Every structure is written in structure tokens, then in C-alpha cells.
Amino acid sequence: MKVAAVETDKKSFKKMFPHLSEELELANSKVSINSVRTDSDTAEKSLSDKFRDHNPTVVDFIRRCDTEAQAEAIIEYLEKRGELTKKYAEELRKQLKKEGVRSFGSKKEKNYYFKQGGLC
């Protein structure tokens, strides 16, 4: 397969792709490439399995919160969806009110899973 080269100047590129241009210019959005694999099966096997098939729990969501109000909204939402029992939701609320949002664990910042998986 032959790929045609397209030439453009920086100004035109910014106009056509403003968001992509911004991402490319930001230093914190760069990802280093340590190696190249041409065999997809080998590449898949080499990925970190730490979060493969990970399904976040209510505590994972609460740990992203900054305030008790945000945590309460998550508990309420998951309870309404039937993903939390009334009893468990009440236990979470009790802990939240008595001990605060950080009692569920340290705050999970942006890109938490990428960083923990060694991808950032």
C-alpha cells in the first residue's frame, strides 16, 4: 500500500485541525514510544494486564470526587440505577458524612489508570 504525502504549512494545519494542532503543541500530551511491534498478537501480550477487564466500583468513582456533594451525587445515581443496594448506599453515605470523601482513599487524578498501567 502506498501512502500519498500531503504537505501543508503550520498555519493551514492549525486552521484545518485546531484541536489536533493544540494537542501536538502541548508538552504534557506527548506520549513516548519505547518500541515498535509489527505483530499485533505480540503487542497485545506485552501490554500491562493491571487494569484489563477492570470495572470501576462506586469507591473508584468517589475517589475522583473533590467534594462530598459530588460523592453523594454518584451514590444517588448508582442507587437509582440499581447498581447499589439501599443498604450499601446508606453505609457509603454514613461513611461520607462521618469521615469525609478522602476516607474512601486518595484522590484519583486525571490519567490515573494510564499512569498506574505505565502508559504515561
> Can you give the pTM of this predicted structure?
0.55
- Buried-state track 27-60, b at ≥16 Cβ within 10 A, e below 16: eeeeeeeeeeeeeeeeeeeeeeeeeeeeeeebeb
Quick one: pLDDT at residue 91?
A: 95
Task: Give dist(CA 114, CA 48) in Å, integer.
Answer: 10
Computed over every residue of the chain, the mean pLDDT equals 79
Task: Give dist(CA 91, CA 84) in Å, integer.
Answer: 11
| The amino acid at 34 | N
Pairwise pLDDT comparison (96 vs 117), residue with the higher score: 96
Q: What is the pLDDT of residues 90-103, one digit of tens each?
A: 999 999 999 999 99
What are the φ/ψ torsions at residue 106 (nearest 5 degrees)?
-65, 160
Contact yes or no for 23/71 (Cβ under 8 A): no
Q: What is the pLDDT of residues 53-87, one digit of tens each?
A: 667 889 989 998 999 999 999 999 999 999 999 99
Banded pLDDT at 15 (limits 50, 70, 90): confident
Quick one: pLDDT at residue 86?
A: 95
